[in-house]
Amino acid sequence: MYEPILVLFWMVGLTYFIFLGDNILGGISTSTQMRTRKKIYEIVRKHAPHAKTFYDLGCSKGTLTLTIKKLLPHLTIYGFDNSKWRIVLAKTKAIILNKPIFFVYQDIFEINVQKADVVFIYLPRELLPRLEKKLLAELSLGAIVITNTGFFPNWKPITTHITHPNKEAYQKLFVYLKS
Ligand SMILES: C[S@@+](CC[C@H](N)C(=O)[O-])C[C@H]1O[C@@H](n2cnc3c(N)ncnc32)[C@H](O)[C@@H]1O
CA–centroid distance, 108 to ligand 1, in Å, is 9
Q: Is the pTM of this model over 0.95?
A: no
Q: Domains in the chain: how many in total?
A: 2
Higher pLDDT among residues 14 and 66, named by residue: 66
Q: CB within 8 A of 78, min separation 6: which ones?
A: 53, 54, 55, 56, 101, 102, 103, 104, 116
Same domain for 57 and 4: no
At 109-159, the pLDDT tens digits run 999 999 999 999 999 999 999 999 999 999 999 999 999 999 999 999 999
Check whether 93 has a pLDDT greater than 90: yes
- Count of beta carbons in the 10 Å neighbourhood of residue 127: 16
Same domain for 66 and 16: no
Atom of ligand 1 nearest to the CA of 64: 9
Same domain for 10 and 48: no
Same domain for 100 and 69: yes
Mean pLDDT of the 63-69 span = 98
Which band of pLDDT confidence, cut at 50, 70 and 90, is reported for residue 80?
A: very high
Same domain for 91 and 9: no
Same domain for 108 and 40: yes
Same domain for 93 and 16: no
Which band of pLDDT confidence, cut at 50, 70 and 90, is reported for residue 4?
A: confident
In the prediction, which pLDDT does 29 show?
75
**Residue 170's domain is classified under what CATH number?**
3.40.50.150
Same domain for 119 and 145: yes
* Residues spanned by the domain of 157: 31-177
Check whether 99 has a pLDDT greater than 60: yes
Q: Does any ligand 1 atom lie closer than 6 A to the CB of residue 123? A: yes
- From atom 8 of ligand 1, which residue's Cα is the shortest distance away? 32
In the prediction, which pLDDT does 1 show?
57
- Distance between CA atoms of residues 123 and 127, nearest Å: 7
